[in-house]
Structure 1
Amino acid sequence: MTTAKTKETGRLARLLHSVRFHLSLWYVVILAVVVVVFGSVIYSVEATSLSGEIDAELKLVAEKIPQALSTQANTFKLNDQLTQLVNQVLGQKSVIPEPIRSQIQGIPLISNLFEGKFVLALVDGQGHLTQSFGAFDKASLEALRQDFINNPGGSRYEVFTVPSSPGSNPSADNLAQDYRVYIYPVSQGAGLEGTVVVGLPWEGAATLRVLLITLLLTGTITLVLAAAGGYWLASRAMRPVSDITRTARNISETDLSRRLNNPRQDEIGELAGTFDRMLGRLEAAFDRQRQFTADASHELRTPLTIINLEVNRSLARPRTSDEYVKALEVIQFENEYMTRLVEDLLLLARADAGQSNLQPEKLDLSDLALEVAERLESLAERQKIDLVTGELPELVVEGDRRYLTQMVANLVENAIKYTAGTGDTVRVETGCEGKEWAWLRVSDNGPGIKAEDLPHLFDRFYQADRARTTALAGKRSNHKGSTNPPEEATRGSGLGLSIVKWVVEAHRGNISVRSQPGEGATFEVRLPLNK
């Protein structure tokens, strides 16, 4: 029982916090404001229309009454003549000849006067009722007097409901009669002499009540239907978002191939398309991560296997000093290889995380290229490669000396490694393109690169021997069955060009490669000149 109640409470909480509920609520609130304003305008216009004519008549009569007041001191009454006339009219209402009765039917004020359907009351300045005529009974007159006492002020209109026949049992057909009353205070000097009250029957009150009830019922029904329709529309509009949510919940690290494929052309379709593209990027990133992990494991497993074999071979039986030295040289070489590999991996990992701290300074790109060429000249000689330099004009760029040196060294070492055995020359030169760019070219006359391999050269762990198999395969075959370490220039991790590309892009430059199989390769780096 408690579990079911908790689930119900949870569903209610989710509903109250859902976007569809908030959209429906705001829709209903805004519509309610519109309905209230619209209903108020209709009610006000109708009330003004219904009361305009009778209000004018009441005001005209009320403003004439002070001229007919008695002149006796401390008396707030009609003069005797007018009092007698009113009483006479009321007393003769039942004997009015038919021709006269027919004529006065078209004049509401006179017709109501002869039929007794009017109100005339006078209240003095102390709040005492001094005189009254017409349809109000004692209870209505007392209520009217209390209204004066409780709401003193200027002239105003009010509505009172009294039995249609005062003093008698109301009929079933006409239980009550609404009167429109005009309250008109009469001033004397700085004080209030009294108040005149005139009123006439008003059917507009009943009409307004019917209108008010109609507006309330219509508005309520409209809001209920709007709430239901709004929630349905909101639910329909948010359904693709629910699909996105369900898909996101079902996606795991091992299943990033799922897509929404929403064909809609609206904002929801744009959101779904963005989500699909994000999934594509995530899938590609995870694929790269898995490939990176696999390649790194493979690259580390090879030297570890070699070290393990050399150790086991040395321990299998006593060896000569020269054999132990050779085993230690192999172990040292593989250890240095793993050290370089780990350093390269750390460099790229810091670059991916945005934690590589560049220390820019103004430097000459040509001097840096010459320095690298001189340092690698001995390596080129061992591989029987001529490392030559072309024109090296002064080119001032802004960059990190350590990273730019590593970039140039990687390019030159890469050229030496793949040129050995098929070519004999590696050329390094620099120049400028206008006043915007400096360029560095490293070219060789080696075996070249296949067209299908060019797009992958800068991918991490892309094995160079897949790109230039011709020369390197034969050279490596010479080391099979030997315990001697391979030449340094023929051993790579597949990270060198990836580091080159990162360094170039970190310095706001770009790199390109041109090559044809059998015609060598040219790598060109462009960096912005320092102005």
Structure 2
Amino acid sequence: MTAQSRTTTQAAAGPTTTAVTTEPAATARAFPRRISARFRIMLWLLLLMTVALVAVAATTRSILVRDVEQRTDRLLNQETEEFASFVDNGVDPETGKSFTRLRPLLREFLERQYADPDEELIGVVEPGSVIRQPRDIPSPLPLHRDDASLARITGSSATTGVLDRPAGEIRWSKVAIDPGDGTPEGTFVVAFHTDREREAVNDVFQVLLAISGVALVLSTGIGWVVAGRILAPVRLVRQTAAQLTEQDLTQRIPVHGRDDVAALATTFNAMLDRLERAFSAQRQFVDDAGHELRTPITIVRGHLELMETSAETAAEREETVRLVTDELDRMSRIVEDLLLLAKAERPDFVTPEPVQLAELTADVFVKARTLGRREWELGEVAEGTVLLDPQRVTQAMVQLAQNAVQHTAPGATVRIGSRLSGGITGGLVVLYVADTGPGVPAQDSRLIFERFRRGTTRRGSRGGGAGLGLSIVKAIAEGHQGHVGLTETPGGGATFNLLLPRTHVPFGEHTPDGKTTLPLPRAGTETEVGDVG
């Protein structure tokens, strides 16, 4: 720790040291203000929706404008074609023959036409002489009053075009007239004022923008609520993780639904389960080690101090050394057993491999016979290949045999065997050790599988132990996703059954029903597996 984060002052009157800790300025900068995932989702949603709505509105306006232009072009073409046909086929009502004069031709045609309100039909006989329909045009400056624009149209070499004026745009088309009788040339002009049509398009565009804005606001609100509901489990995960401490790992996240967020919550809860088991095993290891090692340490220390302060004979000193060595050996065995139990939570605690069950049973029987002077019997031996960790299973069976030796008298019968239960391809592998001792009282059937617990009675025990043997057996069984059961031996005694699934489920993986273990009874419960006699 640097001088910037801690200052130490010492009083002159004594050695007391007072530490004043201040948070450095860099700590505040180590956690910059973050943008929440909910806010970022809404920003992206808002951006995408804005682009989409603007694109829809702009595309709609473009389509409407193009529709106006196409409709106007069709109208202009229709009017010019009708006028050309009238020039060729029209009959002068005064003479009953084809028109020979331009003014009567234009006047007669214009009187017969019903023009669009924004359409203007004009006949130009000579500069400054205009023939038109007697009606008003909804434009601030109709074409027949705009001499300059009309002169530009009649003087143009094109037959159609668009004229941009300060008073408004005009789309026009014209037909030149030459009667061939020496009279001045005339022009028929069709003009369409597009201002009102474009204003209607702009009104639709503005309405679309307004609707899009309202839709954007509503979508933003709804999206904010929906994003909050979707991310609620994620926030709960973060809050739960923030509340977790080594002393409290009981917090869990409720799982609702079957989506990715529910899978996240399930995974997080499984992680908490593993952490809780790990911390629980650690605390139990520390508590058990401190509890069980305190007595031999006290004995060793007492004898060593006694050796320093008393004048012992060589025989007494040798006895003291023997007692100290014995206690140290017991401490070593306790530490090894505790380390083994601590490793039981690790994924690699058991390493299953194909094993011939008959060969494994025979090996266990041969090794157990050297444990004591008992009447050892090899019971039934099952045939078949099973998936087990042979070293761990052998360790458990030898421990059960040692337990039987400790709780029976010399000459008592101890039977070891194996069987398959539940069919050829599935079910359980049952390995058992049956003795003819005093048995286990019902109130101790669960108690004896706990660490450092030996039950209320000693079953005629002839040796002391730390009370970890059956706990190790239980850990090995559970490492195979199985359990250890206890039943009575016919005729008296206790039978310990190691029940393991034939198909091993790897540590931490799930069975089809979603559980991490097979649906076997809990360790220490009585389970009938048939007559072992």
If the TM-score is normalised by the length of the shorter chain, which range does it land in?
A: 0.5 to 0.7
SS state at 1:524 partner: strand
Are 1:21 and 2:39 counterparts? Answer: yes
Residue 177 of structure 1: SS of its match in structure 2? coil
Q: In structure 2, how many angstroms separate the alpha carbons of the residues matched to 1:21 and 1:162?
A: 50
Q: Which residue of 1 aligns with 2:493?
A: 520
CA displacement at 1:316 relative to structure 2:
3.1
- SS, match of residue 446 in structure 1: coil
Deviation at 1:413, TM superposition (A): 0.7
Matches within 5 A, 1:163-178: 163=166, 176-178=167-169
- Single out whichever of 239-248 and 493-502 deviates more from structure 2: 239-248
Matched to 1:514, the amino acid is T
Give the residue type in structure 1 aligned to 2:122. L
**Shift in Å, 1:294:** 0.3
2:436, 2:489 within 8 Å by CA — same for their partners in 1? no
Residues 364 and 397 of structure 2 are in contact (CA less than 8 Å); yes or no, is this contact kept in structure 1?
A: yes
Matches within 5 A, 1:221-232: 221-224=214-217, 226-227=219-220, 230-231=223-224
Q: Which amino acid aligns with 1:428?
A: I
**Residue-by-residue CA offset, 1:462-490 (whole Å, 9 max, x unaligned):** 41x22x52545xx6xxxxxxxxxxxxx52
- How many residue pairs get aligned? The number is 430
Partner residue in 2 for 1:418: 407
364, 373, 376: which is aligned to 1:369? 364
Counterpart AA for 1:369: V
Q: Deviations over 1:406-453 (max 9, x none)?
A: 2221011112223359x9443223445565565432112334334454
Q: Which residue of 2 aligns with 1:491?
A: 464
Displacement, 1:204?
1.4
Q: Distance in 2 between matches of 1:112 and 1:259?
A: 83
Structure-1 residue corresponding to 2:330:
337
Between 216-225 and 329-338, report the one with greater CA deviation. Answer: 216-225
Alpha-carbon distance in structure 1 between the residues aligned to 2:305 and 2:174: 121
5 Å matches for 1:73-92? 85=102, 88=103
Residues 22 and 453 of structure 1: CA distance in aligned 2, closer, same or farther (over 3 Å):
farther
CA 405–136 in structure 1, closer or farther in 2 if over 3 Å, else same? farther
Is 1:104–1:111's contact at 8 Å kept on the other side of the alignment?
Answer: no
* Residues 428-437 or 308-317, more deviating: 428-437
Q: Tell me if structure 2 keeps the 8 A contact 1:366–1:395.
A: no
Higher RCO, 1 vs 2 (CA within 8 Å, ≥6 residues apart): 1
In 2, Cα distance between equivalents of 1:183 and 1:103 = 18
- Using the aligned pairs only, state the percent identity: 29
Q: Distance in 2 between matches of 1:316 and 1:435?
A: 69
> What is the match of residue 183 of structure 2?
none
- 1:32-43 alignment runs, 5 A limit: 32-36=50-54, 38-40=56-58, 42-43=60-61
| Displacement of 1:33 | 4.9
CA contact (8 A) 2:371 2:405 kept: no
Name the SS for the 1:411 alignment partner: helix
1:407 to 393, 396, 404: 396
- Over 3 Å counting, the alpha-carbon distance change for 1:308 and 1:50 in structure 2 is same
Please name the residue that 1:112 is paired with: 121
Match of 1:121 in 2: none
Is the 1:395–1:438 contact (alpha carbons within 8 Å) kept by the matching residues of 2?
no
Q: Is the Cα contact below 8 Å between 1:348 and 1:499 reproduced in 2?
A: yes
In the other structure, the counterpart of 2:21 is none
Separation in 2, partners of 1:249, 1:424: 59
| Matched AA of 2:192 | L
Alignment-derived partner of residue 443 in structure 1: 434
Aligned residue identity for 1:521: A
- The letter for the 2-side match of 1:201 is H
Q: Larger % of helix: which?
A: 1
Task: State the partner residue of 1:162.
Answer: 165
CA deviation after TM superposition for structure 1 residue 20, in Å? 1.1
Structure 2 counterparts to residues 30-429 of structure 1, below 5 A:
30-36=48-54, 38-40=56-58, 42-43=60-61, 46-47=64-65, 50-51=68-69, 53-60=71-78, 85=102, 88=103, 104-106=113-115, 112-114=121-123, 137=148, 160-163=163-166, 176-181=167-172, 199-202=191-194, 203-224=196-217, 226-227=219-220, 230-231=223-224, 234-235=227-228, 238=231, 241-258=234-251, 279=272, 282-356=275-349, 358=351, 362=355, 364-377=359-372, 381=373, 386-391=374-379, 393=381, 395=383, 397=385, 402-420=391-409, 424-429=412-417
Unaligned 5+ residue runs, structure 2?
1-24, 87-97, 124-129, 134-142, 176-187, 504-533
Q: 1:83 to 1:38 in 2, by over 3 A?
A: farther
Distance 2:116 2:239 in 1: 77
Q: How much does 1:105 deviate? A: 4.3
CA 1:355–1:226: 2 relative to 1, 3 Å: closer
Q: What CA distance in whole angstroms lies between the structure 1 residues aligned with 2:441 and 2:171? A: 103
CA distance in 1, matches of 2:347, 2:110: 103
* Structure 2 CA distance for partners of 1:425 and 1:322, relative to 1, 3 Å: farther
How far apart, in 2, do the equivalents of 1:517 and 1:313 lie? 52
Does structure 2 retain, via aligned residues, the 8 Å contact 1:441–1:525?
yes
The one of 465, 473, 477 aligned to 1:500: 473
Q: 2: distance between equivalents of 1:183 and 1:458?
A: 109
CA distance in 1, matches of 2:250, 2:219: 41
Q: Distance in 2 between matches of 1:529 and 1:272?
A: 31
What does the per-residue CA deviation read over 1:243-265, in whole Å, with 9 as the maximum and x for residues that have no partner? Answer: 543343233212334566x6977
Q: TM-score, normalised by structure 1?
A: 0.63
**1:36-65 CA-partner distances (Å, limit 9, x unpaired):** 454356435644664554322223456799
Partner Cα separation in structure 1 for residue 438 and residue 52 of structure 2? 80
Take 1:418 and 1:354, find their aligned partners in 2: how far apart are those partners? 33
**In structure 1, how many angstroms separate the alpha carbons of the residues matched to 2:78 and 2:250?**
87
